[in-house]
Structure 1
């Protein structure tokens, strides 16, 4: 009987140790932020935002308006928070892209994966299922989400 109790104590301690390790690593992963600059392949312009929530692309300057803090969740999805404004990149059903206060909705979650263009990335919104694109009218600042395709307007360099 004493051996059984000792074995149970060891098993319980081991189980609690493993659970503690999982909890610590899980919370550490959620808190990890990676700053990045997102530059379009076609236009050679950087994703930018202002305090009004407008998202566009501008000539790359290295300003905080062009730095995005990427946070990964447990499903390899990302939120992108603008360094200057503290607001999150959000896609809308009408294809517009803005920054908004954090909501945790799928509209603020992005899947970053390899694009068909080597060294570039595709940034797909989980809410509307479309890709971040710098394709628009004659205005090169236009940034929105469009059906994902092989276009260089949908390919982004992430530094």
Structure 2
């Protein structure tokens, strides 16, 4: 089961990367030790290129990052969303068209107006509810650094409804 909840909150004011205006909760009803893949579409809404320097988990409880890559967005293509396993395969859902040309998120250069999917492998090591948010650190061409927490919170738990009420 996957539960998704959202509420409107403009958290991107002043940020160069735009993930949308809604705060999202994405929950997978799975057991501890499971690997999942999540993918979020974003756009560089600034007027200069940026370079991603770090992708870290923040406010993490019982979860760690396996990897973070960028996949070029193809218009009209279904975003990855949430899948079981890391790395993802096309057994249950087709992989994005540009999957084979993915790049490591750290060190990737994003031009103004470009759209990419940030695809992250996560694993739960908690017997209870595991959850996290993701922070991206990047710098613009002038060398100014930015930190941005993307507007998603990810859960791996046996009971999504209860987890989102408690955490």
Question: What TM-score bracket applies, with the shorter chain setting the length?
Answer: under 0.3
Higher RCO (CA < 8 A, seq sep 6+): 2
Structure (1/2) with the larger strand percentage: 2
Structure (1/2) with the larger helix percentage: 1
Larger radius of gyration: 1
Q: TM-score, normalised by structure 2?
A: 0.27
